[in-house]
Chain A
Amino acid sequence: RKEVEQDPGPFNVPEGATVAFNCTYSNSASQSFFWYRQDCRKEPKLLMSVYSSGNEDGRFTAQLNRASQYISLLIRDSKLSDSATYLCVVRVGGGSQGNLIFGKGTKLSVKP
């Protein structure tokens, strides 16, 4: 089983739509959780951290379910500029360190 699994997509949605991505992770000792965004032929960039209580950043909402080892990202009122690949990421290792394990990403394409 892969450490971090995501639906590869692509998700093709119209502007203004709400879209949700899901992710599962296998290591129950995972400590931190993130969503990264990667544009075509660019480097991954941190979109947001994911906290146990859930958190929101503008149109983006992230949720974590530790019991089910499940992470989600909801994008509301999607824009053309949201088109990218979204990578689910977990940190393994003790304390505040360790390293990040990346899912293979879910591709989103927002159409006019």
Chain B
Amino acid sequence: DAGVIQSPRHEVTEMGQEVTLRCKPISGHDYLFWYRQTMMRGLELLIYFNNNVPIDDSGMPEDRFSAKMPNASFSTLKIQPSEPRDSAVYFCASSLVVKDGYTFGSGTRLTVV
């Protein structure tokens, strides 16, 4: 089992540019979550999907953020245009049964300058 795979591991971009983060969940997991982690706010849920359908996107900060899950093995989180305050570590996680917890990917460390 390869685990949850995220790419890229690091991303440095200029303010105003579009950023796309990618995630491949564990095969067979029906739930996929996107979290953002900062020192100030800790881990915050941005959005989660069940069977490729967005269930709760109330954590998405604003219209600059969008997420898609076109199939069971791939999801993207897009920020357009990016701003310095978007700098954070973005984690993707997947789960078969949420009550048993979930598995995180290694994260994407995003720096917007």
Total interface residues in chain B, CB < 8 Å: 22
Separation in Å of the A90 CB from the closest CB of chain B? 11
> Which residues 40-56 of A sit at the B interface, judged by CB distance below 8 A?
42-46, 49
A49 to B97, CA, bound (A): 13
Interface residues on A, range: 20 to 34
Is there contact, CB below 8 Å, between A96 and B99? yes
* Complex: A105 Cα to B41 Cα, angstroms: 11
Q: Say whether chain A's binding surface is mostly helix, strand, loop, or mixed.
A: strand
B107 adjacent to chain A (CB < 8 Å)? yes
The answer to whether A98 and B105 touch across the interface, beta carbons within 8 angstroms, is: no
Closest residue of chain A to B6, judged by CB?
A: A43
A residues apposed to B, CB below 8 Å? 31-32, 34, 36, 42-46, 49, 87, 89, 91, 93, 95-105
